[in-house]
Chain A
């Protein structure tokens, strides 16, 4: 086993009286898309700022490719901040070339790397446009390129889909998958759980500076599964009727979510429902959503209003 792209080991950061990050530990492996999830203000950005070397942890250690982050430069990181990290007065081309040269590439080397991404995203026609003339979504694409174009080992993407329309969201999503499959470490930081559920294999769930949950997403969901299934019938308005069911409710699509009583078997339930004369058109195991799990663990709602 080679060293993980990133190891965070017992890291704590305090701002004045406010404990922003409290003894957090996790690992990001190469080629495994990693999701960092938590409500706004949970400590995600504070953690990222320590990983990128912008601030130093009060205690704990961070290792990048097995090398300790100690306040010196960390060129192996590509960081996409949540806000627009762009020079508004520069043109797209100037901006990308400036950043790639600052990362130590020569003009000609850098031009090749930038061109590769400009072609991939089909934004060649923007090359001479000023960044302030671009829409929010277009700017986000430029910023994404700026974060990943130098081929870093670890990419940290803070809310990469904000401001993007569905087409561009898909484009970026596919790129994130591709970069991860190339064996890069990728952290997707967001408060949108559906993005993490869709993309990530491993997650860390943070709330109020602490880790609430961490591990493989499927395993976590499996472990919080409570004998629940989704069923749908031909004539769905009528509630399913079988004495082995504990709780029955209807979801937003009109399907029935049922919970099996302790000790009952799935086959018995199906038999029972069929015998009650109903035509079953849909049946699946219902794993809890990350939000359900979050509420269960913390007693708070992940998507709480700010």
Chain B
């Protein structure tokens, strides 16, 4: 055991002492946020190129105003189709929009005609039709002489207030707003962030272990150590050392992130707006000061102790499970990198599957897929954290915990056997037949 400690100590301190460690640990959440922001920007990207178009509107539905997007500049003209097209060519317009003549205010279908050298992209196409639809609605209201106030009264905002606390909900006067409509989004967000972090940490640390085992094998250092250290101790030392690095990172985050969070609140108060995030008001209409306050209240309402403990537990479970497999892989490999990459796919695929299931689990945390995956050890370290904020039944969390522990012990034992023989073999790669032989020997 003393030797396991020495090995773990080397693995731990050689990583934590590096200046990159603290930078990466503190930088990771920032990078992570930046990553999400960039993905958001990519998705909200629309060609910003300005388009000048001619609009022909004989019934004056649009009242000389057409603004479906900031990039559209419209000019209203009269004339035959021929004349308008000539005008387009002469004055260099990008396109001509022909609005049909509408007589009947009850019309239920209208076709706009757009003539141009370039088709409208999907985004503009949708904007045109939805914009025209709302403008046509205003025109109809006016033509039919309806009272706009009355019409507005027909719209009702409906919210779902869900509660998982059956006892409290049973009492009639339960008006504690346990979960607002925004709750699932906040819970899902927390789950996904934790799952993503576990995913990245398991992945990065796992491959790190694989590479360091491979290095020890290729440069034969393991042959010097093997006369004094058992291979299993060598592997355990490595797992414990690198595993502790991950726990250190999580602890730093658990302390650091709330500090930053409260720091921001103290600095800016709750009047933050989303203008800095690159999303236009149009795209995120629900986010206003009130919503933000709701998010804050939601955040305060979570069982942070359970979430923190589970974070560390599932990280450790996932880490030991996958890293011992990565370690065994590293022991089986030679120094042929190409071949190693394809070999490591075997271990990589379940992790990637897990993160996809996790994304689905956030959307429907109590679906059969989510429930079973969150108890299946190869997936649970990533899927269960996605569900945790939705407060799944405790027995499921318990089964998930126990299954993960049992399965991880089995895999560590199994990997230890492969590691023991693999790390000492050289010159040739292990065949499946040989692997089975290794497993059988003592």
Which A residues are closer than 8 A to B by beta carbons? 16, 49, 52-55, 73-75, 77, 79, 81-90, 94, 98-99, 101-104, 146-147
Contact B227 A79 (CB under 8 A): yes
Q: Which residues of A contact B221 (CB under 8 A)?
A: 85-87
A85–B220 CA distance with the chains assembled, in angstroms: 5
Q: Which of B107-137 contact A (CB under 8 A)?
A: none
With A85-B221, A102-B3, A102-B6 given, can you name 4 additional A-B contacts, CB distance below 8 Å?
A: A52-B226, A75-B228, A79-B227, A81-B223
Residue of B nearest to A71 (CB): B442
Q: How far is the CB of A84 from chain B (nearest CB, A)?
A: 6
Partner pick for B227 among A16, A73, A89, A101, CB 8 A cutoff: A73
Q: Which residues of A contact B6 (CB under 8 A)?
A: 98, 101-102
Partner pick for B224 among A49, A55, A81, A89, CB 8 A cutoff: A81
Contact B230 A73 (CB under 8 A): yes
Contact A102 B225 (CB under 8 A): yes
Interface size class of B (residues with CB under 8 A): 10 to 19
Asked if A103 meets B424 with Cβ closer than 8 Å, knowing A54-B223, A83-B219, A84-B219, the reply is no
Interface centre among A84, A85, A94, A146 (most CB of B within 10 A): A85
Contact B7 A102 (CB under 8 A): yes
Which B residues are closer than 8 A to A by beta carbons? 3, 6-7, 10, 14, 219-221, 223-230, 424, 428
Contact A52 B227 (CB under 8 A): yes
Provide 14 A-B residue pairs closer than 8 Å at the C-beta atoms, listed in order of the A residue: A49-B424, A53-B226, A73-B229, A77-B227, A79-B223, A81-B220, A84-B220, A85-B221, A85-B223, A86-B219, A102-B225, A102-B229, A103-B228, A104-B228
A54–B10 CA distance with the chains assembled, in angstroms: 23
Q: How far is the CB of A94 from chain B (nearest CB, A)?
A: 8
Please name the 9 residue pairs, one residue from A and one from B, whose CB atoms are nearest each other, closest first: A85-B221, A74-B227, A85-B224, A83-B220, A81-B220, A85-B220, A103-B228, A75-B228, A77-B227
Partner pick for A99 among B14, B224, B424, CB 8 A cutoff: B224
Q: How far is the CB of B342 from chain A (nearest CB, A)?
A: 23
Q: Which residues of B contact A73 (CB under 8 A)?
A: 227-230
Q: How far is the CB of B387 from chain A (nearest CB, A)?
A: 40
Residue of B nearest to A146 (CB): B224
A103–B7 CA distance with the chains assembled, in angstroms: 12
A137–B268 CA distance with the chains assembled, in angstroms: 62
Partner pick for A75 among B223, B227, B428, CB 8 A cutoff: B227
Q: How far is the CB of A154 from chain B (nearest CB, A)?
A: 10
Residue of B nearest to A51 (CB): B227
Contact A79 B228 (CB under 8 A): no
Q: Which residues of B contact A81 (CB under 8 A)?
A: 220, 223-224
